[in-house]
């Protein structure tokens, strides 16, 4: 069953079109990696899906329901949660307080404070520490755990490993592995292509606001993704056409 679908979505920053008629979908229990260079439109796409950025046109459906007209908090209530780039934690609040804030307006479901702390064991000894005192990896784990407290149908995670030390990235992905094994539906924006292709069942690559590659990870090579990532595949096609004309 399709958990989330986006059809011909357009989003702008003023006169700049950042997302250009993007269409994609993710099935229940699927992990989708969203990749692309800086400025490709990935963050704007996730923010628009989540309701944090206005859509100029297009449709967004969550479990078959059109949510394009709903404000962000109502999308959360319907089961859509975003872990934003930069984490955006409440720095003066403790880890536990950050989690409880999200849990206060959660959908019904299995994810409560004990369950989330079980899934993110690194947070258990940190629960009474202020978020501003945490390392980057600990903050990222807290941000993901906070989103999980809302019991989402679909979890959107922007820039999973950006700015984190390799050890911190490993810890975050260990916790994500537990969610994936549990059947969570995830869309991950990830700069590390190797990790993205390893954990996701499907990859979508954006370039200049458009989807330029969409394929199961088992059917695409890293070289093909890299070519799409930098626009080399499109350049090669253009060269071929010019050579034949």
CATH number of the structural domain spanning residue 24: 3.40.50.300
Answer whether 1's CB lies under 8 Å from 15's CB: no
Q: What's the mean pLDDT in 123-145?
A: 91
> Is residue 239 pLDDT above 80, yes or no?
no
Give the pLDDT of residue 54. 96
Give the pLDDT of residue 234. 53
Give the structural domain span for 63: 2-244
> Is residue 242 pLDDT above 80, yes or no?
no
Give the pLDDT of residue 241. 34
> Is residue 87 pLDDT above 80, yes or no?
no
Give the pLDDT of residue 203. 96
Write the pLDDT tens digit of every residue in 59-74: 999 999 999 999 999 9
Instruction: Please state the domain count of the chain.
Output: 1
> Is residue 21 pLDDT above 90, yes or no?
yes
Give the pLDDT of residue 102. 86
């Amino acid at each position: 069953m399709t958990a989330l679908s986006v059809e011909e979505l357009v989003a702008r920053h003023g006169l700049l079109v950042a997302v250009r008629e993007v269409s994609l979908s993710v099935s229940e229990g699927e992990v989708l990696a969203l990749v692309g260079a800086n400025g490709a439109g990935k963050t704007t796409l996730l923010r628009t899906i989540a309701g944090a950025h206005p859509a100029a046109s297009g449709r967004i459906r969550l479990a078959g329901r059109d949510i394009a007209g709903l404000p962000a908090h109502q999308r959360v209530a319907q089961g859509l949660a975003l872990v934003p780039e930069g984490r955006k934690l409440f720095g003066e609040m403790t880890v536990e307080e950050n989690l409880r804030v999200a849990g206060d307006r959660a959908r019904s479901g299995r994810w409560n404070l004990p369950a989330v702390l079980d899934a993110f064991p690194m947070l258990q000894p940190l629960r009474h520490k202020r978020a501003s005192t945490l390392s980057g990896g600990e903050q990222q784990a807290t941000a993901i755990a906070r989103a999980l407290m809302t019991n989402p149908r679909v979890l959107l995670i922007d820039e999973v490993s950006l700015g984190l030390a390799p050890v911190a990235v490993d810890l975050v992905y260990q916790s994500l592995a537990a969610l994936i094994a549990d059947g969570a539906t995830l869309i991950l924006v990830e700069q590390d292509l190797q990790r993205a292709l390893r954990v996701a069942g499907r990859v979508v690559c954006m370039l200049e606001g458009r989807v330029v590659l969409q394929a199961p990870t088992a059917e695409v090579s890293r070289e093909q993704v890299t070519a799409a990532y930098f626009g080399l595949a499109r350049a090669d096609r253009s060269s071929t056409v010019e050579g034949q004309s």
